[in-house]
Amino acid sequence: MDSSQLIGITTFTYLFSTILYAIIFIFKTKRLETVATIFTIIAFLIQTAGIGLRWLESYQMGIGRAPLTNMYESVVFFAWTIILIYLVIEWKFKTRIIGVFAVPFAFLAMAYGSFASGISKEISPLIPALQSNWLIAHVVTCFIGYAAFAIAAGLGIMYLIKNTSETRQSTNDSTLLGSLPPLKVIDDITHKTMVFGFLWLSIGIITGAIWANSAWGTYWSWDPKETWSLITWFVYAITLHARYTRGWGGTRIAWLAILGFISVIFTYYGVNFLLSGLHSYGAN
């Protein structure tokens, strides 16, 4: 069994976990919560093995590089970091229902990497610009930030749904949305997740600048990817600043979490395919 097969199994296991979380949410079957978590952990472990095996396969081919350099490998790692952060949040806050709004992001990333046309799954040698010790540091830090922002967006959606329901009618334990955490709890987790993502994105931008200087002789060149990374950074910087100085929370933060993730998606995906620049190699 090779890495592609393990990653393919992961995709369908995340789909099954997504279905389980949806059943828990819709039918309030709390007895399935442990099962959903177990399947998510199994998928995460299989994916970890797949990423590790792909790394080993690159050495066996005489290439010897981290599996983080093209679109296929990046979406796989993106999904891996989403699940890692989600499992930590689930363990810390003891709220498994968040999986309804987090695990689907991992499944969609895996499904895109597995089934989208035009994405190469081959292990190919690094281009000169990527042959740097800063590769792992830059990619890992950025994607931890991206994954945190994905979960924050999911939490933002959760907040808006529950808030809309409570505005129209009183939500109690007998209703569908009664299984969701209180609005104050959702808002608090959303904020903490965004702070966590913002710190890692900041480190990612710094390591990227150092890498750029070693690869191209300049720390900043206003490449489209760099520009949109900065735009995304400012979106979250303004959001967190508004929360600390003006006390923003609730619906405003929920919408900004979603807006910020849209900026993340364009920075990560849209720039590679719509704008040409030094990071265009990421489209393959």
Interval 21-51: pLDDT, tens: 999 888 888 888 899 999 999 999 999 999 9
Interval 217-265: pLDDT, tens: 888 888 888 889 999 999 999 999 999 998 889 999 999 999 999 999 9
pTM of the complete model:
0.92
Neighbours of 190 (CB within 10 A): 24
The domain containing residue 26 runs over which residues?
Answer: 1-126
Rounded distance between C-alpha atoms, residue 277 and residue 213, angstroms: 16
Residues 140 and 270 placed together within one structural domain of the fold:
yes
DSSP count for the chain of H helices, then E strands:
9, 0
Residues 247 and 142 placed together within one structural domain of the fold:
yes
Residues 90 and 112 placed together within one structural domain of the fold:
yes
Contact 71, 80 (CB under 8 A): no
Residues 213 and 93 placed together within one structural domain of the fold:
no
Residues 280 and 141 placed together within one structural domain of the fold:
yes
222, containing H or E segment: none
Residues 119 and 148 placed together within one structural domain of the fold:
no
Residues 156 and 246 placed together within one structural domain of the fold:
yes
pLDDT of 68 strictly over 50 = yes
User: Of 126, 147, 170, which marks where a domain is finished?
Assistant: 126
Residues 168 and 257 placed together within one structural domain of the fold:
yes
Residues 118 and 155 placed together within one structural domain of the fold:
no
Residues 256 and 166 placed together within one structural domain of the fold:
yes
CB contact set of 89 (below 8 Å; sequence gap of 6+): 95, 98, 102, 151, 189, 193
CA pseudo-torsion sign 83, 84, 85, 88: positive
Residues 173 and 243 placed together within one structural domain of the fold:
yes
